[in-house]
Amino acid sequence: MLGVDKEFPYQVRVSPRARRVKLAFNPYRGLEVVIPRRFPRREIPRILQQHAEWISDQYRRHADKLQGVEPPRQIILPLSGETLAVRYLHTDKPGIKTAEGEILIHTRSDEQSIELLRRWLRQTANDLLKPMLSQVADELGLAYTSCSVRGQKSRWGSCSSRGRISLNEQLLFMPRATVRYLMIHELCHTRYLNHSADFWRLVGSFEPDFRRYEKALDQGRQAIPGWYLHDLYSAGG
């Protein structure tokens, strides 16, 4: 539910687990007020005024992100070495087509354009990442049970106790060598489901320069284009 204080727009979310009011600021969605059940909403403006300085600071810091973004005219995918031009055709029949070096999007709005691009990226990530993981696993002699590709907000990848590996579709925006290292990292978790000394020794046996790649992954979010992040974080959560 959208509310508007005299200074701050905000979203209200009722949480059955909340014991007190919580203020959360998402750089792409703005201010969220989480309240317990039966909390009197008339009290929200008073709480916002108590934290007005912090809220104002958040809005100032993230003003550029809250403005929204335009769909891209070009997409660069370091993983595959591709640079693709993007063209838009306004129509009531949405869809997406690809030709050599170009993506053509049939769309009704900017929001729909980005949604279509996200779907295309997810499919492209599936097409590239799954075969690559299989190849790296064969090279290392490590086995996994399945692989899924998702649009995760914080993790580049994960491995379950059953050997199920999940990879982030955003790896499309990372260099191939860095993605290969991420796969080595997750495959080593099929042997050690922790970050023990034994785990890092196994990682180092396959990639001695693993610390450099860990640093590259830590800084990798800087390579993700703003239009993608805006759509990811404005969707919720």
Question: Which segments of the chain have a pLDDT < 50?
Answer: 1-6, 235-237
Residue 114: the pLDDT is 87
Contacts of 187 (CB under 8 A, 6+ apart): 133, 136, 137, 140, 142, 144, 159, 165
- Secondary structure letter of residue 71 according to DSSP: P
Give burial (CB, 10 Å; 0-12/13-18/19+) of 218.
exposed
Residue 5: the pLDDT is 46
Fold of domain 74-234: Zincin-like (3.30.2010)
Comparing CA positions, the residue from 11, 48, 47 lying closest to residue 26 is 11
* 3 state DSSP class of 102: strand
Residue 64: the pLDDT is 62
Contacts of 178 (CB under 8 A, 6+ apart): 213, 216, 217, 220
- Secondary structure letter of residue 176 according to DSSP: H
Comparing CA positions, the residue from 123, 124, 143 lying closest to residue 133 is 143
Residue 229: the pLDDT is 77
**Maximum C-alpha span of the chain:** 62
User: Where do the domains of the chain lie?
Assistant: 2-66, 74-234
H-state helical runs in 189-224: 197-206, 210-218
Residue 190: the pLDDT is 97
Contact call for residues 115 and 164 (beta carbons, < 8 A):
no
Average pLDDT over the chain reads 89
Comparing CA positions, the residue from 218, 237, 228 lying closest to residue 173 is 228
Comparing CA positions, the residue from 165, 162, 92 lying closest to residue 129 is 165
- Secondary structure letter of residue 70 according to DSSP: P
